[in-house]
Each structure stands twice: as structure tokens, then as C-alpha cells.
Chain A
Amino acid sequence: MSRIESCFHRLAEQQRKALIPYVTAGDPQPDVTVPLMHALVEAGADLIEVGVPFSDPMADGPVIQAACERALVHHTSLHDVLDMVREFRTTDTETPVVLMGYLNPVEVWGYNAFASAAAAAGVDGVLMVDMPPEEASSLTGALRELGIDAIFLLAPTTSNARMNIISESASGFVYYVSFKGVTGANRLDVSKVADKLVEVRKHTDLPIGVGFGIRDPESAAEVARIADAVVVGSALVSRIAELADRPETIPPALAETLSEMRSAIDLVSARQQK
């Protein structure tokens, strides 16, 4: 059983929902990322999405674009990101880590070489935002051989036919994009998401994470009612932007933001158990 699978397995047994924070590696500077990951785990993260900075983050809104730019000032490369994961793993062997980013840095490295390096570093899942399953078979093959889950997106525009294609390619969990738009936009409509998730569950048995537009404990709790995992990105990254000139304050500040979401989500789980 992969680390991601056992994570969701354990949460299901406890009837709890997963909380998945996203941070861009190297933002605002490389030495912040690993302490920040540990702080997020302390604050209740079940799984961490680590963003690989890219010069042209086409699916991201201004908050994560700016995070990529801050990280790239320090030339944070995919190699550097794997070094960070390796360092994180020296003291945390349990929390799954998913790399999220765009294909080109992986393309340049080469699929097999990247997959080996990622596995050796302790990466559990890879989500390439601009790589739909139709283009992904070589990469997913290389990842799966080494026990790394290939995570794919589902969207409001995804047809039933495509849901089948995606669920056949995906493992670990699937990531449902809550609205048509870019990360960080204020367009979340939980009842629409709920309707679509009913459809999605007919096509996959994998746990479903929901992300995009979750900005506070209230929206996190609302999404936790209907999804298996709540993904929070821009809300955390915008805090990093505010504190970029005081990097030592970032891990405790983000831990505080995340733990408020954790409490709100756990309250939902507790009520659902009653």
C-alpha cells in the first residue's frame, strides 16, 4: 500500500477528512520550505502538495504566479525540490508528499530519470497540471513502476467519458478543480461541486480531493462535508507573500492559518459521525 493510499485508508477508518496544504517550493527562499513542511504537518496536514516553480504557470492565478517568481529568483529547480523532499524525509517518514507543477521541467530531465530521483527522494505522488491522461502514459508508467502515484485533475467541464479515462490512469486520489478558472479565484460554489461529485463517484473509487477557491475555515468545512480531502493553496501562499521579508515568521503563521482550518474540518467530521 502506497503512503497516499494508507493515509486515506487510516483517515477513512477514523471517519476524518484529509487536509492538504499547497506551498511552492523555494518561496520566498529555499531554506524556508522544509521547516514550513514540518510546521504544516504539526498543524494538521495529512498530505503536503509541494509546488515545483515554473516560469509560465498557465493554470495559476496571480498569487501562485508571484510565488513561482519569488522561488525562481533563487533558481529553485526540480532537483532542488527533490533535495527538499529528501531532507523532509529524514525526520518525517509518514506524511505523503505530492509534487505539483508543470510538465516542462520533468520533460527536460527525462521521465525515467526523474521518476527514479523522485522515488529515491521520497516523493509519493506527482500531479502535472498541464498533462492530461491522453499524453501521460509514458510518465505514469515510469512513476507507477517505482510506486509513485499519478494524480490527475477533474474539472466542472469533464465529461463522463473523460472521467473513465482519468480514473483508469489515476491512483492515490483524484483532484477535483472546484470551478472554471485559475487557482485563488473567488468562485467557489459548494452546491455545484456537490452535484458534480455525485457524478464523479460513479466513475472512480479513489478518494476525491477538492481544491481551488478554499480560502478560510468556513469554506474548508463546507468542502469537507462533501469531499474526502480539502486542498488549500492560494490562501496559504498569500500569507507567505505578506511575510516574505520576515521568512522566519512564515512557518508559525501558516501553521496557525492551517490549524484553524483543521479544527473547522474536524468539527464537520465529528458531526457527521453522530
Chain B
Amino acid sequence: MEQTQSSEPARAAGQLPDERGHFGPYGGRFVAETLMLPLEELAEAYNRYITDPEFLEELDADLADFVGRPSPLYFAERWSRNLGGARIFFKREDLNHTGAHKVNNTVGQALLAKRMGKTRIIAETGAGQHGVATATVAARLGMECVVYMGSEDIKRQAINVYRMRLLGAEVVAVESGSRTLKDALNEAMRDWVTNVDNTFYVIGTVAGPHPYPAMVRDFQAVIGRETRTQIQEHAGRLPDALVACVGGGSNAIGLFYPFLADSEVAMFGVEAGGDGLETGRHAAPLCDGKPGVLHGNRTYLMEDPDGQIIETHSVSAGLDYPGVGPEHAWLKDTGRVTYDTVTDREALAAFHEVTRVEGIMPALESSHALSYAARIATGMDRDDIIIVNLSGRGDKDVHTIAAMEGITI
């Protein structure tokens, strides 16, 4: 492929969300009054710049030269043959700068922050990947950067904390609630409401109040646009199935979105099954949650019967979130995308298999998608094509994996 696809979203009339950010009954803007004006200003700026040729040119140049796009589409030939079913391709987001898809979005939002005259950017992070991707663009643009991270996650992800500090970001430990990603998001919102005049809040996934779910999707949709062109070049046709893991859902929607109108392309979103859905210890709001309102939008949530948000569990910190992007909620209800789960144990098995058979070490998040792809591939024909979003690389997870297997490094 010769060049990066234009980042302009192909948003035709009647496409979702509506002007108030609704995907059917989901999405919207559920925030305290103080944030309503900043969100309106953000939506206005986003709508203006996302069709501005100069902005898009700068974004495309950054995606090419700083992120390293386009990312390759790789045919996992040996693994496909071993499985004995469909041909499996990996969209190699793990090869992006900073090692995951997260940077596609932070590059876009940071450019927008600069255009809006903001001098300070803040972010929430769970595993630290979004925090690192935000600290990276902040360093490059010379902006002050504060990253909120639950104190539990800080303990589990010492290396990413150090990476962020090396990049010049301040990492603030969040001690409230369950001291994980959801609490980091609460704390970032509290910072934003306090410092709204000079601060831009870079949300890392397709959740949050409007316009974040649409904006983050549009910045991540470069994944699906490239994939479309690449598979046409490789195979001369569209794939039969797309598979991606879903925590908040940004890598999944990034891959799916440009294919939504292609009814022949089946789509599978894979949530974190943790110890198994039946144990209740998981992070699968779409498969085992109920609709509710959290973090500025209506979506499926992990909650108790009183409406309190409950703690989630996944071996993969990047999937360990009790909500999910509102567009996924809508795609579930409409049946366009099938959502299912993969357990910790299954993801770990896929991690080892792909590492050894393909020489590619996937992130534990992406390993959920790989496990599911293997599950469906065996029932498919040898001419069929599955594309898995290999959303990140597994280097960050080696300590977790070693610990799970009782190995001290």
C-alpha cells in the first residue's frame, strides 16, 4: 500500500450518532452542568477540523511518520494451516509507535487540543498504554501532561508508570473507589471540570460523553480503512469475518466501522471472560451486563441490582473496565456485531500459540481476539478470510504472564 488513507470520516447523513451523540438509546451526554459548554465547544471544534484539509494533512503526516502507518496486514500462514480452517490475517497495530492502536487517537486529539489553544492535556489510564500514548504526544508537542491512574494499577504496571514519567508526564495515583481504571476516569473528569479553561481531556476509548465516542471512533477508523484496501490488494475481496477484543471498544470500532455497511462481512467483538461468565468474575458488560449510565453515556454496564458499578476482573488490564462504548451497545442490540467472551485461560493459551507459531508476541488484550478467531476458524472453509485486529504487542505483559505461571524473572 503506497500511502496512508485520508483520515476524513465518511459520515453520510443519517449515520450515527445523532447530533446529541445518541446511538439509538445509548450514548448521549450525561455530565454535570459545568462540563456541558466545554463538551459543546469540543464537538464544534472537532466537527470543524475533521473536514479541514490542513488539519487532515497534518494528521496524516503524523500517522505516517510518527506512528508508522499504514500498519501491515499480515497473513498468519503457519497458524492458519495448523488450525486447518479459514485463512487468518493480523492487522498489525502492535507495530505502531508505542506498541498499540492507542496512539492513533492520541495523535488526533492532541492536534485538536493544539488547534483549540489548550496548553495542558490530561488522560486516564488502566494498563498504562493510553497514558504512555498520551504522554508521548504531549512530549512531542511540548504540552503539560497529567495522567490519572488507579493506585492498584500503578502497582501492577510499574514499567509503564516509569515510561510516562520519562516522557515528562505527571502520573497521579487515584485512591478512590476500586483504585482502577474507572476511578482514574472519574478523577480525570474532576480535574477537567476544575481546569477546563486551559485543559484538554484525552479520553482513551470510545466511551465518555458526546463527542468522545464518535471522535475516538473516527480517529481509530484509520485501522479499518487501511484494512479494507489491504485485503482487496491481497485477496481481491472483502473478508468474511473481523475479530477484535472489546474493553472500552476503540480498537474494535476502529476496525469494524468502515465495514459496517458490508453485510457480507461478519463481525465479532470479544469481551474479557475472566474466570468464566458463570463465576461473575469477568469484564463482559455486553455479554452479561445491563444498560445504565456511567462516565457520561448510557451503555451496558457491570452493575449490582442497586445500580452501583461493580469491580471487574480480567487478566488483561486493558479490558478491565465495567462499561463499553455506546456504539457497541447499539451494534449488539441491532445484531450487526456478535459479542462473545474468551476467558483468561483461553487468552493465555492463544498468546503462547501465536508467539511460538508466528513469532509475534501479542498483547493479552489482543490474545482474546486471537483465541476467538481460532475458535471460529476451524468451522470455516479454507478459502474464507478472517482478519484479527492485533491491537497491541505483548512486551508489557511478560511479567504478568510469568507471574501467572509461577515464574520469577
| Chain A residues at the B interface, C-beta cutoff of 8 Å | 54-59, 61-62, 65, 69, 72, 75, 77-79, 102-109, 129-132, 134-135, 152-159, 162, 166, 177, 180-182, 185, 187
Known: A58-B190, A153-B33, A180-B193. 6 other contacts (CB 8 A): A69-B176, A103-B293, A108-B305, A153-B34, A157-B196, A177-B33
Is B182 within 8 A of A104, CB to CB? no
| Chain A residues closer than 8 Å to B196, beta-carbon distance | 157, 180
Q: Given the complex of chains A and B, what is the CA–CA distance between A132 and B210 in angstroms?
A: 13
Q: Is B38 an interface residue when CB atoms closer than 8 A count as contact? A: yes
Kindly supply a per-residue 1/0 record for chain B positions 13-36, scoring 1 wherever the CB is within 8 Å of any chain A CB and 0 otherwise: 000000010000000111111111
A162→B37 contact, CB < 8 A: yes
Out of A78, A108, A131, name the residue touching B292 (CB < 8 Å).
A108
Contact present for B34 and A104 (CB under 8 Å): no
Of chain B, the residue at the smallest CB distance from A187 is B194
- Which residues of chain B have a CB within 8 Å of any CB of chain A? 20, 28-38, 176-177, 182-183, 186, 189-190, 193-197, 290-296, 298, 301, 303, 305-310
Which of chain B's residues have a CB closer than 8 A to the CB of A103? Answer: 30, 293
Contact status A72-B33, CB under 8 Å:
no
- Say how far B231's CB is from chain A's closest CB, in angstroms: 40
Inter-chain contact A180/B190, CB cutoff 8 Å: no
Q: Is A132 a contact partner of B31 (Cβ separation < 8 A)? A: yes
CB distance from A137 to the nearest CB of B (A): 12
Please give the distance in Å from A100's CB to the nearest CB on chain B. Answer: 11
What are the residues of chain B within 8 A of A152 when measuring CB–CB?
33
Pick from A54, A79, A155, A158: contact of B308, CB below 8 A: A54
Q: List 20 A-B contacts (CB under 8 A).
A: A54-B307, A56-B177, A58-B31, A62-B176, A104-B294, A104-B307, A104-B309, A130-B30, A130-B31, A130-B32, A132-B30, A155-B32, A155-B36, A157-B196, A159-B37, A177-B32, A180-B34, A181-B34, A182-B194, A187-B194
Assembled-state Cα–Cα distance A131/B294 (Å)? 11
Q: Which 4 A-B pairs have the closest CB atoms?
A: A105-B307, A108-B307, A77-B306, A155-B34
Q: Is the CB of A135 within 8 A of B34?
A: no
Which residues from chain A contact B31 at a C-beta distance below 8 Å? Answer: 58, 130, 132
**C-alpha gap A157/B195 in the complex (Å):** 12
Closest to B183 in A: A56
Q: Are A134 and B20 in contact (CB under 8 A)?
A: yes
Q: Is the CB of A107 within 8 A of B307?
A: yes
Closest to B35 in A: A157
Q: How far is the CA of A54 from the CA of B303 in the complex (A)?
A: 11
Residues of chain A within 8 A (CB-CB) of B298 are 107
Whether the Cβ atoms of B34 and A58 lie closer than 8 Å is: no
Q: Are B295 and A58 in contact (CB under 8 A)?
A: yes
Report the nearest A residue to B188, measured CB to CB. A58
Interface contact B308-A105, CB-CB below 8 Å: yes
In the assembled complex, the Cα of A79 lies from the Cα of B305 at a distance in Å of 11
Asked if A158 contacts B20 (CB within 8 A), the reply is no
Could you tell me the distance between the alpha carbons of A129 and B290 in the complex, rounded to whole angstroms? Answer: 21
**In contact, A61 and B190 (Cβ under 8 angstroms):** yes
Tell me the complex Cα distance, A54–B309, Å.
8
Tell whether, in the assembled complex, residue A55 and residue B36 are in contact, meaning their CB atoms are under 8 Å apart. Answer: no
B286 to chain A minimum Cβ distance, whole angstroms, is 17
**Bound: A79/B197 CA distance, A:** 39
Smallest CB separation, A111 vs chain B (Å): 12
Asked if B30 contacts A108 (CB within 8 A), the reply is: no
B36 closest partner in A (C-beta): A132
Distance between Cα atoms of A77 and B36 in the complex (Å): 28
- Which of B30, B291, B310 has the largest count of A CB atoms less than 10 A from its CB? B30
> Which partner residue on chain B sits nearest A54 by CB separation?
B308
Task: Give the Cβ gap from A63 to chain B, nearest Cβ, in Å.
Answer: 11
The answer to whether A108 touches B290, judged by C-beta atoms less than 8 angstroms apart, is yes
Inter-subunit contact A135/B194 (CB<8 Å):
no
A69 and B177 within 8 A (CB): yes
Residue in A closest to B209 when the chains form the complex, CB atoms: A130
Once the chains bind, are A157 and B32 in contact (CB under 8 Å)?
Answer: no
